[in-house]
Structure 1
Amino acid sequence: MELLKSLALQPKKRSPLRLFLGKHYYRTKRRIEWMGDKKKYSQSFSKELLPHQAIQHRTSLYRKLKDVDMWYQENKVQNLSIAVKQLNKIVIKPGETFSYWKLIGNPNKYKGYVNGMVLFYGRFKPGIGGGLCQLSNLLYWITLHTPLTVVERHRHSYDVFPDSNRTQPFGSGATCEYNYLDLQISNNTNQTFQLHVYLTDSHLVGEWRTEHPLLSTYEVYEKDHRMTHEHWGGYVRHNTIFRRVYNRAGKQIDDEYITENHALMMYEPLLEAHTVDNQ
């Protein structure tokens, strides 16, 4: 079993033609799914914010990354400023599902998106709309601190940059690629949620707001974090994400499994990192 997992993580070389055809196949498949599935997708907005803040988190807009020019960061901020307008103040009623890409749409140059940093098979390159993973990472993280249900999330296949000042567990984000690597969140509760997401001069800020105060709070943590040297020569990073659930009195009432992560490392393990910021 461990050998099969190791083989599944080994990088596979694919021709440019296969990559092109594969992307268009999965994009078409997703469009058909959107038209034919039975999900009720959230699409209504409210100018007024719901009264209660369930969770808020912010991440730095300008992160120093090893060997990455800062113009990537500047362009990322422009891309984020466009995308958040498509999501800010969206309301998710009971029984509805939030779809990241269904709301944002195709991030192309005609909408004002510019070249940003796109991760591609463990490396980075310029790409239109690059940097929007920071937004999907943030949304996934704050959703883990609510009773909303993540019904689709895709983990990062590569661990590209070493940790520095990490405040969240490894693997607690969600990668995105229009439109087939989506982040979907269902509201299976009995009250309405609202997403409030915006940019300050220095941070991307996101929060979930509710009609009534939540009855529980959540603490997300990792277990079994390790790095393995695979027989084919690469290093792979692993962990499992859980969350503790507390009632309003502060008593732990549950310990829930969330997901597991396996990512091919693109740097030497235990490499000291002093120039990289996490998420």
Structure 2
Amino acid sequence: MKKGLAIFIVLILILGGGYFGYTKYAEGKRIEAMEEALKGDDIYTGITIDGIDVGGLSKEEAKDKILTAKADELEGKNININVEDKNYTFELKNLDHKMDIDKAISEAYEYAREGELEERYSKLEALKENPLNVVIDKEIDYSHVDDFVAKIASEIDTEAVNAEFSVNNGKITSTESKDGKKLDREKLKKDILDAINNSTETITAIVETIEPEKKHSDLERINGLIGSFTTDISTSSNERKTNIRVSSNSVSKKLLLPGESFNFNNAIGDITAANGYKNAHVLKGGEYENGLGGGMCQTSTTLYNALVRSGVKILERHPHSRAANYVPKGQDCAVWKGSKNLRFQNSYDFPIYIDSSVTNNKVTFYVYGDKTKKDYDISFKSEIVEVIKSETIEKEDPSLKPGERVVDVKGYDGYRVVTNKIVTKDGKVISNKQFTKNYYPKRDTIVRVSTETAGEENPSGDASNSDDAVMLP
């Protein structure tokens, strides 16, 4: 028994030693195999850079292969852009690609080269089932896209051309209008960038049609005179006539589209000698005095009367502080920078054209429009409903000689005036309504008298309000 047990133990020891020795040998072989697989200076198999297989290549070989592949990738690849009836080609090779290829190669090369042997080998084995793709850091300069789009726009974009309207010796003419075009630059740029990234080959650009503000078809509706008015300037000084001519030219040859408004004071601009204005009599606060631009109120009054006879909507109008002598009372229109203005609006659905002439000692304004729509006549009749008599107020002045009288202020009567608007068609009155109410305040005569002859004062209690004007519908 004892001898058999001893033999058994010896056999176990022999077998155990053999197994241990074999295991140690096998482990050594495995380590040798892992070391063999991981050695070398080439990029490991199973690694790609931007989809380009670089496994088994040195760094230099990998770089050459990538550069060649990238050049081939862009060569001959174009994006076709259709712009209406034109075609443009954008070549991808023109893009400035800034690629950090060296960084990508270094990342590919360093894969599974750090760490414990087992860890490195495990990563290497994993490549067989899950290959590694290293993405190159890229920065593409898209400025060429901007330049390309700008070039297309320079060939496509055109300004809309407005129709022009003119009247010469009563003959009405209008030029043709033309649509403009505008390339949608932002949309085209976005589409090109999307096409670059998605390998799209064809793009259709969007071109917007720009309609002119003044179309020939609209101006064709101006077919005749719908209102005019004339005032006499024969008694005016040469300076006053000059001011009327300059101001009339400033507000003439104006085309107003439907709904468009006009501002007289803005249109005449600065009243300066440099703009051609002269010193002439102006009515200010009921008194005549010399001032730059004297006579402009006759221009505004003549224009106002042409406008109301054409049926144009008046937005702002003021009477004078003293009734003008070149139109019936209640039909004047005062202007003064900063306080009084003439503003109106084309309330028709067709354009109107305003013109003037200053000839033969007369100033005339003309309003042209669609006579088929404005096929009636407008006239005005003013009635003085009250005369406010001027009074003479005497004031004692002990400095005067006995019986001496000095007129300080020469007075005039005041008036309350109602103006009716009369509409006739085919010779028949179809409307007769009150249009405006106007108040022209009186001015009393002020006389200084000597103490011996002075009479009793009789002050007027009638307040002055030069802007008492009401425009009725």
Contact 1:106–1:178 (Cα < 8 Å) also in 2: no
Match of 2:85 in 1: none
Uncovered stretches (5+) of structure 1, i.e. residues with no partner: 1-43, 64-69, 269-279
- Output the CA distance in 2 between the equivalents of 1:45 and 1:110: 29
Contact 1:46–1:90 (Cα < 8 Å) also in 2: no
**Closer, same or farther: CA 224–200 of 1 in aligned 2, 3 Å:** closer
**Closer, same or farther: CA 133–53 of 1 in aligned 2, 3 Å:** same
| 1:107-146 matched pairs, under 5 angstroms | 107-146=271-310
Match of 2:438 in 1: 261
**Residue 208 of structure 1, CA deviation:** 0.9
Structure number with higher relative contact order (C-alpha < 8 Å, ≥ 6 residues apart): 1
Contact 1:149–1:187 (Cα < 8 Å) also in 2: yes
Deviation sequence 1:104-152 (CA, Å, 0-9, x none): 1121112121101111221111111111011011011112212211110
Deviation sequence 1:219-264 (CA, Å, 0-9, x none): 20123532024899774211111111123x2222222221111112
Match of 1:185 in 2: 344
Quick check: 1:51 aligned with 2:51? no
Q: What SS is found at the alignment partner of 1:144? A: helix
**Closer, same or farther: CA 188–228 of 1 in aligned 2, 3 Å:** same
Deviation sequence 1:164-197 (CA, Å, 0-9, x none): xx7x531201011124311011111111111111
**Closer, same or farther: CA 152–195 of 1 in aligned 2, 3 Å:** same
**Closer, same or farther: CA 137–74 of 1 in aligned 2, 3 Å:** same
Quick check: 1:205 aligned with 2:364? yes
- Output the CA distance in 1 between the equivalents of 2:343 and 2:432: 23
- Output the CA distance in 2 between the equivalents of 1:223 and 1:60: 21
From the CA coordinates, give the structure whose radius of gyration is larger. Answer: 2
Whichever residue aligns with residue 58 of structure 1, its letter is T
**Residue 157 of structure 1, CA deviation:** 1.6
Whichever structure has more helix as a proportion of its residues is 2
Contact 1:159–1:266 (Cα < 8 Å) also in 2: no
Match of 2:382 in 1: 222
Match of 2:312 in 1: 148
- Output the CA distance in 1 between the equivalents of 2:383 and 2:423: 16
**Residue 159 of structure 1, CA deviation:** 3.3
Quick check: 1:237 aligned with 2:401? no
Runs (4+) off by over 3 Å: 44-51, 229-235, 265-268
Give the RMSD, CA atoms, in angstroms.
2.6
Contact 2:391–2:444 (Cα < 8 Å) also in 1: no
Taking structure 1 as the reference length, what is the TM-score of the superposition?
0.68
Whichever residue aligns with residue 380 of structure 2, its letter is V
- Output the CA distance in 2 between the equivalents of 1:57 and 1:267: 33
**Residue 56 of structure 1, CA deviation:** 2.5
- Output the CA distance in 1 between the equivalents of 2:357 and 2:254: 12
**Closer, same or farther: CA 45–119 of 1 in aligned 2, 3 Å:** farther
**Closer, same or farther: CA 78–117 of 1 in aligned 2, 3 Å:** same
**Residue 267 of structure 1, CA deviation:** 8.2
**Residue 45 of structure 1, CA deviation:** 7.2
User: In structure 1, which of residues 146, 159, 174 is the aligned counterpart of residue 333 of structure 2?
Assistant: 174
- Output the CA distance in 1 between the equivalents of 2:306 and 2:288: 26
- Output the CA distance in 1 between the equivalents of 2:337 and 2:223: 33
Whichever residue aligns with residue 283 of structure 2, its letter is L
- Output the CA distance in 2 between the equivalents of 1:187 and 1:132: 23
Q: What SS is found at the alignment partner of 1:157? A: coil
Q: What SS is found at the alignment partner of 1:171? A: coil
Whichever residue aligns with residue 423 of structure 2, its letter is V
**Residue 46 of structure 1, CA deviation:** 3.4
Identity %: 19
**Residue 100 of structure 1, CA deviation:** 0.7
Taking structure 2 as the reference length, what is the TM-score of the superposition?
0.41
